[in-house]
Structure 1
């Protein structure tokens, strides 16, 4: 089913107008936003003090990043500078009475955000291409990785809970072949197969499920669980995901395929090449992702660092011979950081998302650090994104570092990517949100205000 068209229709059928409660929430959100703006303008009464406080905060942020990426005496000095700058900034705000105004702005922003979510509801969410109510699984199997996510499966007792629901648990032991276990489950008659583990494991079991056209259940028992997030599951309620083995909603979603001369690999989230793929190979990355990434940036993106040899065709059809970061994703991301952390509006659009970041070695490293820390990597001037059904990466290197759904690999080029539209039948619990965060939220402040004005006027948000 196609997305809702401008004017608030889906396949020509009008979306229902917002109820009175949503219209009141829209009014509240707009009023809170206006009050926050007015409060911010009051800072102009003390422009020098405000400017000084802002400068000190910037100094604290820069010094804090410096402390994060260096060691020894320089780290101690940078940490001390950051702490001192924050203390002086707080003192300036206290003396001028600006702390109360700052707290007021933060509270108003929180109120505006909460009210906006209530007002907009799910109007902005794309309609799934296919969605069907289904009955309980006849012969459900759940494969459990007890080591994933720091032992989430054991903490939540997933093996026992699965058994109590009539689902046969299969525990992945050290040395087991996950694909073989999934194949055995299907050969044994499983009509629904689930995976309790990280995204790499989800991709492997999903590939088996799509090859045999059996339904898949994603149980977010990994560390980040990006796939679960964009399927609209509550990642904090691991046990609730088991409800998908009962009466559920079944959808068809896309998978993505990476092919090289060694064979095919299916992925559910993304494949990253360049800087981030190199970082993932670090032994320290799994336990300290942000710190490891931050400490590696000066070496990988500094003035003397060589650029990765990545050759591909850009969105404009022009050949490109290098990029510092290259991300190919199963669906287009609203990307926050270099590591591919973000969210997708949909995973059933039949398209790959492609993002490249190219850094000016002489001037961009501080901007990259700041954008990475703030989760706003898309604001970099060397950032490019587009969608396509197929994509190819070549190189003169014998092998390329690739982070595939977070797994560090080395693969021989050329690497050929393509979307597998609607390849996977996935079951979602009836009570799950069912919508990705990016699908519920406006793309920016102006689009959010526009959506609220539409709701206030009695029309759908889109």
Structure 2
């Protein structure tokens, strides 16, 4: 039985055809139920979308009163349309059409998801460590170490806990190396991603297992490892019932990173004093500069096969994100063991391209998405701002980012939430080909990191 005749292929084809049937049904409902009013529903609906898009654009690309006005328009437009539909007696047809379109979208995503279930990171059995050493920052994450009683729970499981003094600048890497010299057979961190990366590099250097405790503020690394970010004490379960994941470790000019290295406007967001106290707000405040034009040094990024020129922002990640977007605050990396960096570059030359980036994300012409095991970033300046796992730095150009495949042994609890499967983008052309029994190849060159 060929791949096009498999059960999953048949299921995907049926779901695709059902999605297109629902979509056609929505169009029929507009005409059959509302008659000429169906055209009014379409016209008013399109006007609503245009107004909401304009309002969203002003929210993302403006400051002050124009941003407030944009927010009001984005909210008021759909409300106004609903009122018009009700007063004109068109709401039954509109409601039926919306329901059918929602059903079409649901079936479409299910069809595109069929047969695409990604392979998870491979976990192997692990023996319990005998001399684990855990470094904890009591101030990290607003005091999660104390709030969840991590010190007492770790010591009860046989771990030695080293508490950092937030008032004193500490060389965490040296502290980790001293722990290894004293016989530690596992290193772990309860703290931010920057501290995680430093200790992870020491663990990788000595081929020791590394324990991530999700006691930071956002815990991106812990999230992408499938750990419980709301209960950091559950991460300690790995000390008695754990398994190992082999994951990659990124480097930027020799410095380790577990999440991202950002340049341009992204780096300026992290450099701002307000960032640590209000990350989402700082990102929103910096977006107008990103979307309307960047006044800093344009960035060039080159790989072995691709060159991106005059980028206003670059985001380089330890493995690619599932749905890269410049305004995304909770994007996920489905895997951390693909042996490649994810690269997102932004270059917008006019308002239309900027609006596409703001509203269409990875499908925008101004957004460049690719993967590479090494990226060299250059600019017409001797030193540029760089943010490494949220830490603001100034690095000399050119800056080299690379990946160390499988460098890190991460010990995780056997019982953990895991990482959800990312929803595929809603590609109607691919859906049509799937319905016709001619699915387009999932491979997409350097824009996709496949096994």
Q: TM-score, normalised by structure 2?
A: 0.79
> SS of 1:266's equivalent?
strand
2:352 equivalent to 1:363: yes
**Which residue, out of 226, 233, 248, partners 1:254?**
248
Match of 1:283 among 273, 298, 303: 273
With over 3 angstroms needed to count, the CA separation of the structure-2 counterparts of 1:417 and 1:115, relative to structure 1, is closer
Instruction: State the distance in 1 between where 2:17 and 2:152 align.
Output: 50
Match of 1:56 among 48, 57, 80: 48
Q: Which stretches in structure 1 are left out of the alignment for 5+ residues? A: 1-5, 9-16, 372-376, 455-461
Give the one of 93, 99, 105 matched to 1:104.
99
Task: Give SS of 2:379's match.
Answer: coil
Between 148-157 and 136-145, the greater mean CA deviation after superposition = 148-157
- How big is each residue's C-alpha offset from its partner over 1:94-145, in whole Å with a ceiling of 9 and x where there is no partner? 442256437735874797599789x969x722354x6420122212222222
Deviation at 1:397, TM superposition (A): 0.8
Distance in structure 2 (CA, Å) of the matches to 1:139 and 1:353: 35
Partner of 1:392: 376
* Mapping for residues 26-425 of structure 1, pairs under 5 Å: 33=19, 37=23, 40-42=26-28, 44-45=30-31, 46-67=38-59, 70-94=62-86, 95-98=89-92, 100-101=95-96, 104=99, 108=103, 124-126=117-119, 128=121, 131-174=123-166, 175=168, 176-259=170-253, 264-302=254-292, 305-306=294-295, 308-313=297-302, 316-317=305-306, 320-338=308-326, 342-371=331-360, 377-425=361-409
Shift of the 88–317 alpha-carbon distance from structure 1 to 2, 3 Å rule, reads closer
Q: In the superposition, relative to structure 1, how do residues 167 and 50 fare at CA in structure 2: closer, same or farther (>3 Å)? A: farther
1:293-351, Cα deviation, whole Å (9 max, x unpaired)? 33323334435x43633234356455x54211222222222343226753334222222
- RCO (CA 8 Å, sep 6+): is it higher in 1 or 2? 1
Contact preservation (8 Å) 1:294, 1:369 = no
Change (3 A) 1:124 1:271: same
* CA apart distance, 1:53: 3.0
Q: Whole-Å Cα distance in 1 between the matches of residues 382 and 135 of structure 2? A: 36
For 1:395 and 1:23, the matched residues in 2 are separated by 48
Q: Is the 8 A contact 1:202 1:218 kept in 2?
A: yes
Q: CA deviation at 1:352?
A: 2.2
More deviation in 272-281 or 340-349? 340-349
What's the Cα RMSD here? 3.9
Contact 1:57–1:89 (CA under 8 A) maintained in structure 2:
no
- The offset of 1:156, in angstroms, is 2.7
Distance 1:431 1:412, change over 3 A: same
Q: Give CA-to-partner distance per residue, 1:1-39, whole Å, 9 cap, x none.
A: xxxxx969xxxxxxxx98xxx999989977985675356
Tell me what 1:3 maps to. none
Q: Which moved more, 1:132-141 or 1:64-73?
A: 64-73
Structure-2 change in CA distance of 1:370 and 1:137 (3 Å): same
Q: 1:265-298 CA distances to partner (integer Å, 9 max, x unpaired)?
A: 1011121111211122122333443443333233
Output one character per residue of 1:400-445: Cα deviation in whole Å (capped at 9) or x when no partner: 111111222111112122211111111121122555644xx54655
Secondary structure at the counterpart of residue 333 of structure 1 = coil
